Amino acid sequence: MELRLAHEKDIDQLIKMRWDFTLEDYPEMGEGTEYSTFEKECGDFLEEAIGSGEWFIWIAENDSRIVSHIYIELLKKVPRPGRITNPFAYMTNVYTVPEYRGQRVGSKLLFKVNEWAAEMKYEFIIVWPSESSIEFYGRNGYTHCKEPMEKHFR
């Protein structure tokens, strides 16, 4: 199993995984949606993200197949006098294909991401876990923080 950052050659697999991940949890989202339309939008996003230096897509690959991924977006903070201002990381789109779950693939990938974030001196990683993933993050050293506030526009 290889743990690494995604490259452009991985985009087709990442698109399909995003599609599968979404429909696994929200099957209704696929109704009336053409895969080709999603494929174009997601492909454009991934192409830009991979080369941006602001998004980092970590993957676990087994025999040329991506079996797990974690997306990280860096968020820069406004500098403060008297301290070095490091960005923090927003983690999203954490997914392991069903047949690899329960084999610690996701935990190994998350450990690699945590190691990388510490080496890069990011201030912290934030994630909004689903109810079903709270235990996974807890096992991997994540703790609850106060809920952020939000304003919806739709």
pTM above 0.85, yes or no: yes
pLDDT class of 131 with cuts at 50, 70, 90: confident
In this structure, which topology does domain 2-139 adopt according to CATH?
Aminopeptidase (3.40.630)
Backbone phi, psi, residue 112, to 5°: -65, -45
CA 99, 5, 117, 125 torsion-angle sign: negative
Q: Are strands 125-126 and 88-96 parallel, antiparallel or unpaired?
A: parallel
Residue labelled with tokens 């290889």:
2
Residue-level pLDDT at 150: 79
Residue 47, pLDDT > 80, answer yes
Residue-level pLDDT at 32: 84
76-97 mean pLDDT: 92
Residue labelled with tokens 């739709």:
154
For the chain, which residues make up each domain, given as ranges?
2-139
Structure tokens at 76: 């820069």
